Each structure stands twice: as C-alpha cells, then as structure tokens.
Amino acid sequence: MDANTKRHLLLTGMMGSGKSTVGPGVAKALKWDFYDLDAEIERTAGKSVAEIFSQEGEGYFRRLEYECLESLLGSPRPSVISLGGGTLLDERSRAKVRDHWVVWLDLAPEELWRRVQKTQRPLAQKDFEAFRALYAARRPVYRETQTFYLRCDHLDPDQIVHRILPLV
C-alpha cells in the first residue's frame, strides 16, 4: 500500500514515550477518531491492564491486544491509535500495521524510566537496568516497523503533534 491508501496513524514507542498524551491532539487536529489500545483492551476485558497481567498473565493480555488492534484497524474511518509499548512485538501485529502510518516516539531511557515511575506498568516493576534492557531489545522492532521516527526529548506534546501532522 502506498501513502495515498494508508488509513490509520499509529503511535508506537516505549512506555512513557507520550503515545496516549499526544494521540488525542493529533486526532483532534486531523478531525479523525482517536483510540487508545490499552483503553480498548481494558474495556473489552472489564479490568485494568495491571489486573489482566496479574490475574490472567501476559500471554492472555497479548492475545487480547492483538484482537483489539485487528478490530480497530478494520474501521473504515481514519483514526489515530496509540499502541501499547509491546504491541508490535507480535509479528502478526507488525504485518497488520504495514498498511498504515507508524510513528515511533523515542526518548532517552532515563527519561522514560523517570516517567513510568509515577504509574502502574506491569513491565516496569524492576530496576532501571531491566528497563534499559527492554528498551534496547525493542528498538530494532520499532525501527523495523516505523514509517516516521521522532526523537522527543526536548519537545512538548504540542510540538510533537505539529511534527506529526504533515505526515498525512
């Protein structure tokens, strides 16, 4: 599919990269729908991401994540979708998003870590070294899938939105 036939704009990147913060601003400016994949998963499961991880395990969460992504991508209306940091680890998900814009929001791992400390992320419960290892392991996956790379360290959410808009 070429740029003219792409339909959805997806935000990817590590936990704490700002996907859920920036997504609504991009959607509003484009007058597109907005979806947060984690929120869709929570709605479908009737419980929080943290509860799904602790009660059903990561495998169950990933299956739900794939199903919710597939369903959102099936929408005929253009939308902005904030993915979870691990969504694109699934090869089937990577194959699905190839038909759309994929924007990778990247930041220094130290700053990502600082941000996720304030939240309940099941995969950020250990120490910074474990988090940095996850970041390093995922970078090739984000790199392989992205259609646009945006380093966000010194940008506020509005500036990030304005860098994304010309892409579509």
Write out the binding residues for substrate: 38, 62, 85, 138
Exactly one of 9, 22, 49, 150 binds ligand S3P (CB under 6 A); which one? 49
User: How many residues in the chain?
Assistant: 168
Q: 7 and 99 in contact (C-beta within 8 Å)?
A: yes
Exactly one of 45, 73, 123, 155 binds ligand S3P (CB under 6 A); which one? 123
Q: Which of 157, 155, 148, 153 lies closest to 25 in space, CA to CA?
A: 157
47 secondary structure, DSSP code: S
Written as one letter, the residue type at 21 is: T
Bridge partners of 9?
80, 101
- Between residue 65 and residue 104, which ones bind ligand S3P under the rule CB under 6 A? 84-86
Q: How far is the CB of 121 from ligand S3P (least distance, A)?
A: 5
Q: Which two tokens stand for residue 136?
A: 């390093």
Nearer to ligand S3P, 25 or 86 (CB): 86
Nearer to ligand S3P, 19 or 100 (CB): 19
- Which residues of this chain interact with ligand S3P, rule CB under 6 A? 15, 19-20, 38, 49, 84-86, 121-123
